[in-house]
Amino acid sequence: MSRSERFLRACRGEAADCTPVWFMRQAGRYMKAYQEIRARYPLMEMFRTPGLAAEITLQPVRAFSIDAAIIFADILLPLEGMGIGFEFVESRGPVIARPVRSAADIEALRVADPEEDLGYVLEAVRNVRAEIDGKVPLIGFAGAPFTLAGYAIEGGGSPNHLLTKRVMYEQPEAWDLLMDKIVRTLVPFLKAQVRAGAQAVQLFDSWVGCLDPSDYARYVAPHTRRIFRELRAEAIVSIHFGTGTAGLLPFMAEAGGDVLGVDWRLPLGEAWRKAGPGVHIQGNLDPAALLAPREVLVRKAVEVLDSAAGRPGHIFNLGHGILPGTPEDSVRALADLVHERSAGLSRTQPSAAT
């Protein structure tokens, strides 16, 4: 079986010759080739220039034996077209100059247009697909409604999402309107990525783990569910990712996605149990393991493979993005190790998944 089929087969729960592997944030600062481009252009220009974004997307695909590419973009890009301007500030991350907090702020927001506001991402998708067609599949993505609403309200990263929760609890109608506008922005954007050539999509709900299950079910799931329902018409596979979600997995599975992405805070066997039948699992090595001595990296990667026990629907990934400072050699060794160690596992019995 070729490198091109493993990832999509695993996302559908089908047997593959070995476990597919890719890494969140596989294109980025830990790579020398990325740093060379980064030294010459501001980050936003890299996202907005399809030729550059396509080249950066392909860097890790050329350097490592990974089984999927993910388009080089950022989850925050759709906010701009909604009227929420932001900047990436060196060593601070994203900063939103005028966060949205009142009903009036939310009423003033627009629904972004994928071609007009995000055409550069779609062009990068077309460029990458033209270059790698047949080699590895291309993943498109968006931030999930909760995580995007969190950035819009907090104005940047946040340790506890207190302001976000205050809007949820104190202004539930404004909250629903904000989530609705985000969903109406993301659905056409994700569909446009698919039409431009993305063969899978991942929804990043990176910070949703700050919610308890009842708030998730009440304030988030109905909105996220709309996105996955709309994607069903597109004949692609979808991945639903979050961190700190051990208590939320049954609700996330119900909201949608062929695959749930989980972090290292729970064993994979438990993730399968909580996700329920028919849902596949992506994860879940601690990204810090890539900075550990080689024998520790090997031991922890083998532990992840062992806990997946050769189930057909496992996609090996980290529990969150690659950390800056990660040695490229460790990434290369990990991708190779996943393929070598999983090739011998029995993977023809779907019954092993229960």
The least distance separating ligand CP3 from the CB of residue 76, rounded to whole angstroms, comes to 6
Smallest CA-to-CA distance from 141 within 205, 230, 81, 90 is with 205
Residues 113-152 that bind ligand CP3 (CB under 6 A): 141
- Among 64, 72, 146, 264, interactor with ligand CP3 by CB under 6 A: 72
Residue 34: CB minimum distance to ligand CP3, A: 7
Establish whether 336 is a catalytic residue.
no
Clarify whether 25 is annotated catalytic: yes
Q: Tell me the H-state helices in the chain.
A: 3-11, 32-38, 43-48, 50-63, 77-82, 103-107, 114-132, 145-154, 162-170, 172-196, 213-215, 221-231, 249-255, 268-275, 294-308, 328-343
- Please, which of residues 9-28 interact with ligand CP3 by CB under 6 A? 24-28
Looking at 67-75, 216-224, 255-263, 265-273, which segment touches ligand CP3 (CB under 6 A)?
67-75
Prior bond of 317 cis (ω within 30°): no
Pairing mode, strands 138-143 and 93-96 = unpaired
State how beta strands 69-70 and 138-143 pair: parallel
Binding mask 80-109 for ligand CP3 (x = CB under 6 A): --------x----xx---------------
Q: Is 92 a catalytic residue?
A: no
Residue nearest ligand CP3 by beta-carbon distance: 206
Label residues 100-111 b or e (16+ Cβ within 10 Å = b): bbeeebbeebeb
Question: Can you give the length of the chain in residues?
Answer: 354
Q: Could you tell me the smallest distance in angstroms from the CB atom of residue 79 to ligand CP3?
A: 10
Is 48 in the active site? no
Q: Which stretch binds ligand CP3 (CB under 6 A): 66-74, 282-290, 291-299, 336-344?
A: 66-74
φ/ψ (deg, to 5) at 162: -65, -40
CB-nearer residue toward ligand CP3: 206 or 330: 206
Q: Which residue has the tokens 């980064």?
A: 38
Instruction: For residue 29, indicate whether it is catalytic.
Output: yes
How many residues touch ligand CP3 under the rule CB under 6 A: the total is: 22
Which residue in the list 74, 105, 117, 263 is annotated as catalytic?
74
Nearest to 316 by CA among 1, 16, 2: 16
Residues 31-50 interacting with ligand CP3 (rule: CB under 6 A) = 38, 43
In the complex, what is the shortest distance from the CB of residue 306 to ligand CP3, in angstroms, rounded to a whole number?
26
Answer for the pair 342, 305: CB distance below 8 angstroms, yes or no.
yes
Residues 153-212 that bind ligand CP3 (CB under 6 A): 157, 204, 206
State how far the Cα of 150 lies from the Cα of 208, in Å rounded to an integer. Answer: 9
Show which residues are catalytic.
Answer: 25, 29, 38, 74, 151
Q: Which residues bind ligand CP3 (CB under 6 A)?
A: 24-29, 38, 43, 70, 72, 74-76, 88, 93-94, 141, 157, 204, 206, 320-321
